[in-house]
Amino acid sequence: MNIAVVAPSCTLSREAAERLEVLVHDRGDCEVAIHPQCFLSDGHFAGTDEQRLGALREVMADASVDSVWFARGGYGSNRIAEAAVRDLPDAARSKLYLGYSDAGFLHAGFHKAGLNVAWGPMPQDLRRDGGKAAVTRALDWMVKRDPSALEPDLGQPAMAFNLTVLAALLGTVLEPDFTGVDLLIEDVSEHHYRIDRTMFHVTANPNVRRVSRLRLGRVGDIPENDPDFGRDELAIVQEWCARSGIPFGGRADIGHDVLNRVVPFTKEN
Amino acid sequence: MNIAVVAPSCTLSREAAERLEVLVHDRGDCEVAIHPQCFLSDGHFAGTDEQRLGALREVMADASVDSVWFARGGYGSNRIAEAAVRDLPDAARSKLYLGYSDAGFLHAGFHKAGLNVAWGPMPQDLRRDGGKAAVTRALDWMVKRDPSALEPDLGQPAMAFNLTVLAALLGTVLEPDFTGVDLLIEDVSEHHYRIDRTMFHVTANPNVRRVSRLRLGRVGDIPENDPDFGRDELAIVQEWCARSGIPFGGRADIGHDVLNRVVPFTKEN
């Protein structure tokens, strides 16, 4: 089981990379190659668009790689997502792509292109208190498809997105078909008024309105709304589901935290 | 010249309202009625959706009102914009609607419904240092169509939007036809990475790609990007215009500040 780590968004911390190497060594059931591109820096990003795309395309085309693991989120994968799925080599189709948060741009475009993607913890989570459990969960899925890593109530098909990332990819070439999808959303560091505005945007979309249900993961680190917004994120999501006719399916076990679970977009045979 | 002030988004400050009454009294060329709804409060908003919609519909239907002036931005007009243009009374069609920022949701939906809208300063701007000049500019446009109030290089047709508001209304029923439009954008309090992400979203839209050109107003109060983003808002907007084939038309004289100019969406006869 060979896993390649690349960073299509922001730079991976050396500390997280070192912890990952220890963790993988102790497990002894997989090989994890952290691409040197993960440590590049170009302003906000882990290298220029060309460097990030180059590393991603390289591991996608490598037939010896079983899983491509996105090092961390932040922002930037949208800038290379369309180019990443152009003229796909066969080897790109036989592997799993795993990550969350900003990686949602890749998840959307890759899933649309027929690739096998999953939402799940990333190496940078090792910087969180208790992050080892999260990263172990991702490895358990990549290495042995351990069902205990999964979000426990997944319909088929299922998709998971950061709400703000989902909003930003609607209307772009990355937008996947949401028909019949069990759609899980979560968010982090967004004010309640922004969550309300983004839910207005997302639930207005005719494609999104074709989901089988929408479920709300955790919304973390919400900055203080001035004045108090007057309702919480659960009430906000329920209201926009009701206004748009989307069935609200309750809570989901995902989020920007160490309890974040795995959500495969495609059921594997 | 009768001007009605309502607050479809957030609560107007008493201080700004008092300054406005003094300013209007001193001018002596118009009557400004500040609707009591402007001072209501319901969590984030200037009253419930029903209260804000009720006040807005009331002044829209009032044949004695020449201009409807949105008291301030913030967030919330999207929640009532679709309902505001339902079964329009004739009186709604013979007046001007002026504001900016969050009022963009109303501008879009109202313009699409054939109403006469304009981007321009609002009463709450009287809380800014030098805000009297901004509000005087808006009044000069509403009362006497003073051309010195206008953004100086407007093509026809023209539209102005807060970039984040524009992104949030794409794909909703409020989205207007951008064909041939001189599209002016500005933003405030958004990180460079967010501006980049929003430009990705907006410039991917096929409708937006039909503008005659896109121009960048001022982007104020940009929070620090960690790490430094590596390029400024001008470079960001130019890059996404180049990537999407949208002609970049240079800078525009609008923004969340006291120099903000008026941009009528429709040329009046």
Query: Tens of pLDDT along A62-119?
Result: 999 999 999 999 999 999 999 999 999 999 999 999 999 999 999 999 999 999 999 9
Residue B225 confidence (pLDDT) above 90: no
Long-range contacts of B112-118 (CB under 8 A, 24+ apart): B112/B85, B112/B174, B112/B175, B112/B176, B112/B177, B113/B85, B113/B88, B115/B85, B115/B88, B116/B264, B116/B265, B116/B266, B116/B268, B117/B264, B117/B265, B117/B266, B118/B262, B118/B263, B118/B264, B118/B265
Residue B268 confidence (pLDDT) above 90: no
Confidence of residue B266 (pLDDT cuts 50, 70, 90): confident
CB pairs under 8 A between A and B: 85
Express as a percent the part of chain B with pLDDT over 70: 100
ipTM: 0.97
Whether A75 sits inside 8 A of B225 (CB atoms) is no
Question: Do residues B240 and B166 make contact, with C-beta atoms less than 8 angstroms apart?
Answer: no
Whether A44 sits inside 8 A of B225 (CB atoms) is yes
Per-residue pLDDT at B267: 79
Model pTM score: 0.97
Q: Show residues of chain B in contact with A40, CB under 8 Å.
A: none
What does the pLDDT look like over B22-67, one tens digit per residue? 999 999 999 999 999 999 999 999 999 999 999 999 999 999 999 9
pLDDT mean for each 10 residues of chain A (269 residues)? 98 98 98 98 97 98 98 98 97 97 98 97 98 98 98 97 98 97 97 98 98 98 92 98 98 98 88
Minimum-distance CB partner of A78 among B171, B200, B205: B200
Residue B143 confidence (pLDDT) above 80: yes
* SS3 call for B81: helix
Whether A227 sits inside 8 A of B42 (CB atoms) is no
Q: Show residues of chain A in contact with B192, CB under 8 Å.
A: 44
Which segments of B94-221 are extended strands (E)? 96-99, 116-119, 158-162, 182-188, 213-220
Q: Which two tokens stand for residue A141?
A: 């899925």
Whether A167 sits inside 8 A of B169 (CB atoms) is no
Chain A stretch 96-115, residues whose beta carbon is closer than 8 A to a beta carbon of chain B:
none
Per-residue pLDDT at A269: 61
Q: Which two tokens stand for residue A137?
A: 């969960």
Chain B closest CA to A110's CA: distance in Å?
A: 18
Whether A43 sits inside 8 A of B228 (CB atoms) is yes
B152 reaches A (C-beta below 8 A): no
Chain A closest CA to B143's CA: distance in Å?
A: 33
In whole angstroms, give the CA distance from residue B64 to residue B31: 11
Per-residue pLDDT at A267: 79
Per-residue pLDDT at A203: 98
Whether A201 sits inside 8 A of B231 (CB atoms) is no
Nearest CA in chain A to B199: A168
Cβ-in-10-Å burial (0-12, 13-18, 19+) of B179 comes to exposed
Residue B154 confidence (pLDDT) above 80: yes
Omega prior to A121 cis, within 30 of 0: no
Omega prior to A206 cis, within 30 of 0: no
Q: Which two tokens stand for residue B175?
A: 């989205």
What does the pLDDT look like over B61-97, one tens digit per residue? 999 999 999 999 999 999 999 999 999 999 999 999 9
Q: Which two tokens stand for residue A1?
A: 């089981």
Per-residue pLDDT at A225: 87
Nearest CA in chain B to A170: B201
Q: Show residues of chain A in contact with B205, CB under 8 Å.
A: 171
A170 reaches B (C-beta below 8 A): yes
Whether A44 sits inside 8 A of B230 (CB atoms) is yes
Q: Position of tokens 């903000």? A: B260
Whether B75 sits inside 8 A of A225 (CB atoms) is no
Chain B stretch 203-242, residues whose beta carbon is closer than 8 A to a beta carbon of chain A:
204-205, 225, 227-231
Average pLDDT for residues B148-159, to the nearest whole number?
A: 97
Query: Which residues contact residue B235 at a Cβ distance below 8 angstroms, ignoring those fewer than 6 apart?
Result: none
Residue B226 confidence (pLDDT) above 90: no
A78 reaches B (C-beta below 8 A): yes
Whether B227 sits inside 8 A of A170 (CB atoms) is no
In whole angstroms, give the CA distance from residue B90 to residue B112: 16
| CA A235 to chain CA centroid, nearest Å | 24
